[in-house]
Amino acid sequence: MRVSRLRELKPTILKIGGSVITDKDKELEVRMQTINRLAEEIREASVQNLIIVHGGGSFGHPLAQRYAITEGFKEQTQKAGFSETHHVMTVLNGLFMDALIWRNIPAVSITPSSCIITKNGRIQRFEDAPLKMLLKMGFFPVLYGDAVLDSKLGFTILSGDQLVSMLATKLNAERIVIGVDVDGLYDDDPRVKKTAKMFKHLTLEELKRLESKLGKPTTCDVTGGMFGKIVELLPAIEQGIPVTIVNATKPNYIYKVIKGKKVKGTIIEKE
Amino acid sequence: MRVSRLRELKPTILKIGGSVITDKDKELEVRMQTINRLAEEIREASVQNLIIVHGGGSFGHPLAQRYAITEGFKEQTQKAGFSETHHVMTVLNGLFMDALIWRNIPAVSITPSSCIITKNGRIQRFEDAPLKMLLKMGFFPVLYGDAVLDSKLGFTILSGDQLVSMLATKLNAERIVIGVDVDGLYDDDPRVKKTAKMFKHLTLEELKRLESKLGKPTTCDVTGGMFGKIVELLPAIEQGIPVTIVNATKPNYIYKVIKGKKVKGTIIEKE
């Protein structure tokens, strides 16, 4: 009984990259078909204790960059930019929620900027009571990268990746699944270099040795590319939470991985 | 200097009723023209320290009623209803935010269910740090009636009116403006009885004597009609915060009242 209750409280954290659900080459371009397919896969997997976090892609990033939101509040003209960046993220989240809720998935969005304050870009306060209650009641909380208030900078951008890492360590997650637009973690950027080699399995130690070689982003991403994503996850991996990186643009990969089935991808474990 | 800083911190709280921005007779029917006009009036008024709260109207109320969300979590089938009710409220809020942000109004939405937990329907916890930071930086926080988590009931509905009252008392607001679809507070329901008489001015004592006579709702409204709205505001009035009730469906009424100009309506003051 105790074991099953403990397991119940250990959620899977599923990150869906902004490059998966939006077209990063065009501003405010949602990939609605992909969102619907992913929602269908999540419904079919019929798992419990799932937290979903999605990125901003071509909704949040171009605006955040145009108004230098990450750098903080320096001039009045940025205020409209902060409002707009947060607003477009709620729009993208709304489209994602639509797809989940139409399929009767008990998903409830949590707005990061309404319950999180950062300090120099790092999460400082997080009112987690709604999230914990949602999980306990069997809902799937859905969060996203957002423009948030920052006690030092005024405001900044909170990446979905930092959110994933914080939630995983705080809730001692069962595992983290990172859905991206490539097959896994490579020793170079696979979208640029054809000779890039994918890692099937990495330990924390191997990962740290590879840090300098990881792929760099090819398009606009204020929160960094694959390198930044993995670095964010180090505290979770250190805590013993395994990370699986898979290609979420390929049908059934997310379905299989959240069902616990084997798919092509990169697994990163502490040891 | 001190006086002006104190005044800066005393916000005006503007409530826009769900019956103003939606057609309560048709489910999910937004009055986009009215929202755009109100956004224009708010922009033209060019005031500071404004908090906006809007109701759910034909977005939140019919769903909340269908799934008995107010009564709390009693069976699994309500879960989809909770997800849906919260979701449609974020959609209505998104439409409202669109109208504000297109006009360069520095408005930022705060999702009540992400930062508030109620207990038996009354606000128990509220993470107010984002709201206070937004105000200090000159943003207009926008909140709304929402489906929220409740530490006793599981979940329930938090009315925009309870939010207004809590925010007003907590922040010691300058005043409260309630925009509805009638001209003010009547001794009977003006939409039903032609003989209903409107009050121009009421003291707290007069109001309490009138409690039993106030109008009842004519259409679906799970949070109660005008009576429920006014009762919610009693603690704020008691604290010395004046309440002005005006018809927000009439052009320029909201503009005038937030500018401090005289318009037809009901003023309720402590003495």
How distant is the Cα of B60 from the closest Cα of chain A, in angstroms? 15
How distant is the Cα of B175 from the closest Cα of chain A, in angstroms? 24
d(CA B111, CA B92): 12
Q: How does B141-151 read in b/e, with b if 16+ C-beta sit within 10 Å? A: bbbbbbbbbbe
d(CA A130, CA B257): 36
Say if CB B12 and CB B177 are below 8 A apart.
yes
pLDDT tier at B196, thresholds 50, 70, 90? confident
Name the one residue in this structure whose structure tokens are 């989940």. A100
How distant is the Cα of A80 from the closest Cα of chain B, in angstroms? 5
Per-residue pLDDT at B7: 46
B73 lies within 8 A of chain A by CB: yes
pLDDT at B243 over 90: yes
Contact A94 B94 (CB under 8 A): yes
Query: Mean pLDDT throughout A204-208?
Result: 89
Query: Mean pLDDT throughout B183-197?
Result: 83
d(CA B267, CA B246): 9
Using a pLDDT cut of 70, give the percent of chain A over it. 91
What confidence tens digit (pLDDT) does each residue in B35-65 have?
Answer: 999 999 999 999 999 999 999 999 999 999 9
Average pLDDT for chain B? 91
What Rg, from alpha-carbon coordinates, does chain A have? 18
pLDDT at A224 over 80: no
Using a pLDDT cut of 70, give the percent of chain B over it. 91
Contact A108 B94 (CB under 8 A): no
A79 lies within 8 A of chain B by CB: yes
Per-position DSSP letters for A58-117, written without gaps between them: HHHHHHHHHTT-TT---STHHHHHHHHHHHHHHHHHHHHHHHHHHTT--EEE--HHHHEE
A228 lies within 8 A of chain B by CB: no
Residues of B in contact with A28 (CB under 8 A): none
The region that residue B234 occupies, defined by phi over 0 for left and psi between -120 and 50 for alpha, beta otherwise, is alpha
A115 lies within 8 A of chain B by CB: yes
Contact B154 A139 (CB under 8 A): no
Contact A79 B137 (CB under 8 A): yes
pLDDT at B79 over 60: yes
Query: Mean pLDDT throughout A34-45?
Result: 98
Residues of A in contact with B93 (CB under 8 A): 90
A78 lies within 8 A of chain B by CB: no
Alpha helices in chain B (DSSP H): 2-9, 18-21, 32-45, 57-66, 77-102, 112-115, 129-136, 160-171, 204-210, 226-238, 253-259
Beta bridge partners of B173: none
Which strand ranges, in their side-by-side order, compose the sheet holding B116-119? B122-126, B116-119, B146-150, B154-158
What confidence tens digit (pLDDT) does each residue in B12-37 have?
Answer: 999 999 999 999 889 999 999 999 99
Phi, psi (5° rounding) for residue B217? -70, 145
What is the H or E stretch that residue A150 is in?
A: strand A146-150
pLDDT at B2 over 80: no
Say if CB B227 and CB B185 are below 8 A apart.
no
Name the one residue in this structure whose structure tokens are 């709390």. B72
Contact B80 A125 (CB under 8 A): no
Phi, psi (5° rounding) for residue A204? -55, -45
Query: Mean pLDDT throughout A173-197?
Result: 88
Alpha helices in B103-198 (DSSP H): 112-115, 129-136, 160-171
Say if CB A18 and CB A58 are below 8 A apart.
yes
Q: How far is CA B230 from the centre of its chain?
A: 11
pLDDT at B167 over 80: yes
Per-residue pLDDT at B223: 53
DSSP reduced 3-state for A158 = strand
Residues of B in contact with A155 (CB under 8 A): 137
Q: Give me the residue from B80, B137, B151 closest to A73, CB to CB.
A: B137
> Chain B residue with minimal CA distance to A78?
B106
pLDDT tier at A64, thresholds 50, 70, 90? very high
pLDDT tier at B213, thresholds 50, 70, 90? low
Contacts of A59 (CB under 8 A, 6+ apart): A18, A22, A28, A30, A88, A89, A91, A92
A231 vs B151, residue with greater confidence = B151
What confidence tens digit (pLDDT) does each residue in A98-149 have?
Answer: 999 999 999 999 999 999 999 999 999 999 999 999 999 999 999 999 999 9
Per-residue pLDDT at A94: 98
What confidence tens digit (pLDDT) does each residue in B88-141 have?
Answer: 999 999 999 999 999 999 999 999 999 999 999 999 999 999 999 999 999 999
Phi, psi (5° rounding) for residue A164? -60, -45
pLDDT tier at B186, thresholds 50, 70, 90? confident
Which amino acid does the sequence have at A264? K
pLDDT tier at A225, thresholds 50, 70, 90? low
Contacts of B146 (CB under 8 A, 6+ apart): B56, B60, B86, B89, B111, B112, B113, B116, B157, B158
Q: How many other CB atoms are there within 10 angstroms of residue A212's CB atom? A: 7
Using a pLDDT cut of 90, give the percent of chain B over it. 80
3-state helix, strand, coil in chain A (%, to 5): 40, 20, 35
Interface of B with A in 126-155 (CB under 8 A): 127, 129-130, 133-134, 137-139, 148-149, 151, 154-155
Q: Give me the residue from B83, B98, B137 closest to A107, CB to CB.
A: B83
How distant is the Cα of B240 from the closest Cα of chain A, in angstroms? 29
B101 lies within 8 A of chain A by CB: yes
What is the H or E stretch that residue A201 is in?
A: strand A201-203
Number of CB pairs < 8 Å for A and B? 122
Average pLDDT for chain A? 91
Q: Give me the residue from B104, B115, B149 closest to A133, CB to CB.
A: B149
A83 lies within 8 A of chain B by CB: yes
Contact A84 B94 (CB under 8 A): no
pLDDT at B8 over 60: no
Say if CB A218 and CB A192 are below 8 A apart.
yes
How distant is the Cα of A117 from the closest Cα of chain B, in angstroms? 7
Query: Mean pLDDT throughout A22-33?
Result: 94
DSSP reduced 3-state for B97 = helix
Per-residue pLDDT at B1: 38
Interface of B with A in 229-258 (CB under 8 A): none
pLDDT tier at A81, thresholds 50, 70, 90? very high
pLDDT at B143 over 60: yes
pLDDT at A170 over 80: yes
How distant is the Cα of B199 from the closest Cα of chain A, in angstroms? 38
pLDDT tier at A22, thresholds 50, 70, 90? very high
